[in-house]
Structure 1
Amino acid sequence: MKILAVIPARAGSKGIPNKNIRIIGGQPLVYYAFHNALYSRFITDVIVSTDSPEVRTIAEQMGIAVKWRDSALCKDDVTLDAVIYDAIPKEEAWDYVVTMQPTSPSLKTETLDHAIEYAIGKNLDTIISVVNTPHLSWRIENGKKVPNYAERLNRQYLPPYYIETGAFVISRASVITASTRIGDKTDIYEVPEAESQDIDTFDDLRNAAFALDRQKVAIYVNGNNRRGIGHIYRALELADEFYVKPDIYYDINQTDSSVFGKTTHLLKPVNGIAELFDICKREQYTIFINDILTTSIDYMIGLRTVLPDAKIINFEDDGEGAVKADLVFNALYHDSELPQVKTGEKYYISGKTFMFYKPIEIREKVKKVFISFGGA
């Protein structure tokens, strides 16, 4: 089966000048569409339609064919249908043509392949990428504003509401003309919200850059009556500071899930270190946080082996494994010979509600002092 990917990437973006070649996540924006097309299991050929010398250079360096776009097809009122039709090599017999816009950098190759597989399996003429965004919305009907819902419900109970993402349109080659890519048997393919970005504004560009640079975070923490549960509290406070939901692991042989309270964070029990290492090897976190009091050299070497590219950060680690961490925070101690160890009270993490308490006034003469140690 011959499947052609056509990537339209003209030079004249008015909203965001040079949009298709702007560096985002360390690569030009157009790179992500090129990469997905080249690494697809189904796409056999890739061509870019452009009037940009820079896009042409990037394409040629990545081994992608270039269709130089005529200026008549670069006007704002020209539909994408005409551009795609013009780019298709007519001397070849194509089964499907996949339109891939460079404005969706977060799309994963696996998602694209699943959509192509779905189109082929269902014998569809066309399939369009969409994202489900149910909201309480309104429309204008006969000059009046009317709701798009029958009953006001929380978002999770609203019926699906699909919006096209622009990431891809998969069309049977025989239905494509200069005025359409939509055949009689048309369906939609829902992509995850994280892959639904469509860059039209500078806010979109900033959000996409943030998403592409987003870290994959895991926390390993244990706490019990003997060790104390301050580690648990700190782990939950840390988890709130990331713009992702970290995977929070705990060893069922040391920690009962009840110590986490009613948190909605992602709690993941493991049965020993061996299982934790197996998961880490598969997940390849970019940041891994240990809050287990003391680490051994063997543990840290094992963790570094399965996460060679991760930044490993330990809290309150007075074990020999601390020398293998990228960063260690010991708020309870002062001074350390290790350069990666940060000590002192300024690194203490307290509950966020402390921000709203007025500090007490210390009496001039203090008669009694109560000292509470961790785990008390």
Structure 2
Amino acid sequence: MRSSGEEAKHGEKSLKIDDMEICSKEYEIKDIDSSLIGKTIRFHGWVRSFHQIGKKSFFTVYSAGYMAKCMHVSEEEKIHLTKHTSVIVTGDVKKNFTKDSFPCEIHVKSFEIFGGKLAPTFEIDREQTSESFLLDHQHLLIRDMEKTAVLKVRAELLKLARAFYDEKEYTEVTPPTLVQTQVEGGSTLFKMDYFGEDAFLTQSSQLYLETVAPIFGKAYCIASSYRAEKSNTRRHLSEYTHVEAELAWIDFETLLSEIEDMIIYLTKGFNTKCISILKHFGVKMEALAVPEKPFKRLKHSEAIDILVKEGVKKEDGTDYTYADDIPDAPERFICDVVGKGAPVFLVKFPI
């Protein structure tokens, strides 16, 4: 949509939209840098911030994780833009003389509010808002740089997982998530009516992968899994992305070796691909230490002995016994003490 002389209403204020200057090429914000200084360009995106000083309006426009710094001077009435408003901007690329990180700035000649409507104002103060409220408004929060960084890194890790399996000649399959079988306790299943029959959201694609392992030898899937567990911890999610694989004709040590290879591959890939992504979004992080094969193996009984020796107690204040499972915090303690921060395989659990 192209506007000329239209006005976008915002309460009692109005925003006059100048005539749009046609440029031969439209740029992506990620491609706007100092090499374009002196040129007139056109680009689109969403308003990230906006403020005015006298007749000058300063705003940033973002798209795909990149931002452009803009300045607009109006001899007429003041303009007004709201956060997340969709805009198409035409302007001259100038040198940036301020101390911020932008390689250049855009002196706006004309711009268009896409659709002619300002985005509704909806500011969120994270420090004064409950976690429940923030989760209900994720569609707005994910536009922040920190959340964008999380999604970009997550996407890169999924690419790396697929690349690992592809290099090892696994076959990817897409199992159903509505099932009539279960792989764990029935109390953790999400149950629903499926045309008069009971159906469940899958907890794991293990059984499906086991059916295709004789066909392909090595198979994997990346799919959603669901657990109806009312636990408010980082390790208990009602829905999560599950990376699973099944291999035929292997022994236990071969399985552990395959897991070691994947962790090493993902760690190296994270350092190569994801550190730069985080840096772009303003998140400082050092490269991760790449573990070496073989990872340490620790029997369940040996882990219990270490916990007792080091005085690590259960929640009720008693010592761990050989019949106990080992929860999250003691597991991390064992990794620190035995693995020195590196992964540790906990094996030979009591039956």
Q: TM-score, normalised by structure 1?
A: 0.27
| Structure with greater strand share of residues | 2
Higher relative contact order (Cα pairs below 8 Å, separated by 6+ residues): 1
